[in-house]
Structure 1
Amino acid sequence: MAKKTVNTIKLGVFVLSGLLFLIVMLYMIGKNRNLFGPAFVLKAQFENVQGLVPGNNVRFSGIQVGTVKRINIINDTLIEVVMLVDDKMQQIMRNNAIVAIGSEGLMGNKVVNISPARSPAPFVTKGELLSSRKVLNTDDMLQTLSKTNQDIAVVAAQLKIAVQRVNNSAALWAILNDETLPQNLRSAAANVQQATARAAIVASDLQSIIGSVKNGKGSLGAVLTDTSFAVSLHDAIEKIKGVGDKADELAVSLNSVITGVKQDYNTGRGPVNALFKDSSMVVSISKSLDNIQKGTDAFNQNMEALKHNFLFRGYFRKLEKQKSKENRQGFAAQ
């Protein structure tokens, strides 16, 4: 009976110890989640909480400082997250801190990360709404990665086709297998180098010529730098302009004369009309010209007769001698 009582006492002590240990563990867990310790409320608003649920951890600079108390849906585009934060953070955290939703690892639980800002600001107060930052969603990352993989697949297929074309190109392989190609390339490079050197020499000579022209050397430099040439050129232009004006006046006068002649011809008055339309005047002019021709022939015959006349023969010979002497003097002067 006594042994049974001892066993019962031992069992009772074990059960009480287990209950006490369970209570202590629950208290420690609750304190870690701010269920029993002093805490204050902070808020943040997001468009998408990305699977965040009440009870998830809240971290400040990577340190556990609280938990998510509840999540309120304000409207169809805005969700409010209420956080319980350790009361001692009220003297550390400032109201310009940035709140973002992250995850523990790639596929772990969601957490709320609070990052401090670099600029100074007042400390947070209870119930204050902090600024939030949109974080790239895992689904968006996977969609972007899938699209990138598709693009890479397309590029790889095109690259494969290009490689196949290169492998199937006999002309390209003939060029690559040509043993004289390196020598030809070296010769072409040498020719290019020589051409470049010659171009440099030509450019240097051209620069020297331009410098000489600027300094007034040579004919072109004298033309470009001589101020008297500019004055002479201006005078020549003025004279050409004057000649042009006189030519315009002459053209106007000639035009008026032609207009008068045309008017006389059309009206049947004046000498022009008589010259072109009067047949008797044409006959008279023809007879006059014939008489002048006959008189000129008779005069030439008389002069030839005078040359052979003994009275004037010496005079004409003297004239011929004087003319021959003048011709000889002209040749000697040349």
Structure 2
Amino acid sequence: MKATSSQKIKIGLFTFAGLVVLVLGIFFIGNQKSLFNSTFNVYGTFKNVSGLQVGNNVRFAGINVGVVQSINIITDSSVRVDLTLNNSVKKFIKTDAKLSIGSDGLMGDKLVVIAPGGITSHEEIQPGGRLGSINPVDVDKIITKLTRVADNAETLTTDLSQIVGKINGGKGTIGRLLNNDKMAKDLEGTVKQAQTTMKNVHKTTNTLNEDLTAAQHNFLLRGFFNKKKKAAKAKQDSIKKVQEEAQKEKEKAAKEKADAKEKAAKDQDNKGN
């Protein structure tokens, strides 16, 4: 069965559309992977690449500027990551720039993030140069710690539930105290008795202060208290007198020193004349 002209046209259009889509796809992928741009290579080493793969994006200032070219294990604790970057960003990346591994969104693919640098060095990175790296956080260790914390929290919750159950059941001292009305009343009575005792102590103290004040004005004991006051005043006067004498001696010594210094200066002037 021979194809009609309309069928041939449809086949031709379909083929042409397929080629256009293929070319656009190649161009788009090549542009994303920097296949058609002037590029240069740099590298960094990490202890752990956290699932980074060849072909993942490299981001600088929030913009995709290259791709991960290769990932190779150097030693048991070192992994080399080679990057292919657009030549247009070379002037912005300094030798003290840092590489870190991040994620494209919360659950997106891994990517390499370049911090610009320029703090300790203003020299541009050269092709094939090495950049410093910041090792990513070990997610497995964090998950292990969180799991351990969750297990401890579960154990603690279980223990608290058991304690609350015992208290509600009247077991233990606290349980008996909360569930035994007689013990609670006895405790309440003890507290009230302690409060009453403290009030009596305050009253007794106030009474003693009043009695002492009255005794000071009693003519039989007035002489005793006056002697105590005179003795205290005499002691204060004696201390004050000693302080005054010490001050006078200090002033006298200072004056004698000044006079001696003045006399020495005069003697020196006389010798010069």
TM > 0.5 between the two?
Answer: yes
- Contact 2:48–2:136 at 8 Å: present in 1 too? no
In structure 2, the gaps of 5 or more residues are 210-228, 243-273
> TM-score normalized by structure 2?
0.62
Query: Which residue of 2 is the match for residue 58 of structure 1?
Result: 58
For residues 239-288 of structure 1, what are the alpha-carbon distances to aligned partners after superposition, in whole Å with 9 as ceiling and x for unaligned?
xxxxxxxxxxxxxxxxxxxxxxxxxxxxxxxxxxxxxxxxxxxxxxxxxx
Q: Give the aligned residue type for 1:126.
A: P
Listed one character per residue, the Cα deviations across residues 14-58 of structure 1 (whole Å, up to 9, x for unaligned) are 313321331122112111111222222121110111221211121
Higher RCO (CA 8 Å, separation ≥ 6 residues): 2
Q: Which blocks of at least 5 consecutive residues in structure 1 are unaligned? A: 203-216, 231-334
The aligned counterpart of 2:153 is 152
Relative to 1, partners in 2 of residues 1:116 and 1:160: Cα closer, same or farther, differing over 3 Å? farther
> Shift in Å at residue 61 of structure 1?
3.5
Q: How many residues align?
A: 211
Q: CA deviation at 1:116?
A: 3.6
Deviation at 1:9, TM superposition (A): 4.7
Counterparts of 1:212-231 in structure 2, within 5 Å, are 218-219=230-231, 222-223=234-235, 226=238
- Report the counterpart of residue 22 of structure 1 in structure 2: 22
Partner of 2:93: 93
Equivalent residue for 2:177? 171
Which has more helix, going by share of residues? Answer: 1
Per-residue CA distance 1:113-168 (angstroms, 9 max, x = gap): 22345836423332222221122122112111101101111221222233233322
- Which whole-Å CA distance do the structure 2 matches of 1:182 and 1:9 have between them? 107
Q: Distance in 2 between matches of 1:171 and 1:89?
A: 75
Q: Render the CA deviation track for 1:273-330: whole Å, top value 9, x for unaligned.
A: xxxxxxxxxxxxxxxxxxxxxxxxxxxxxxxxxxxxxxxxxxxxxxxxxxxxxxxxxx
CA shift, 1:8, in A, is 2.6
Distance 2:89 2:34 in 1: 12
| Cα RMSD (Å) | 4.0
Counterpart residue number, 1:48: 48
Instruction: Tell me how far apart the structure 1 counterparts of residues 57 and 234 of structure 2 sit (CA, whole Å).
Output: 91
Does residue 1:76 correspond to 2:82, yes or no?
no
SS in 2 for 1:129: coil
* Alpha-carbon distance, 1:174 to partner: 4.2
- Secondary structure, counterpart of 1:40 in structure 2: strand
1:78 Cα shift? 0.9
Q: Which letter maps to 2:176?
A: A
Question: What secondary structure is seen at the aligned counterpart in 1 of 2:4?
Answer: helix
Paired-residue identity, %:
28
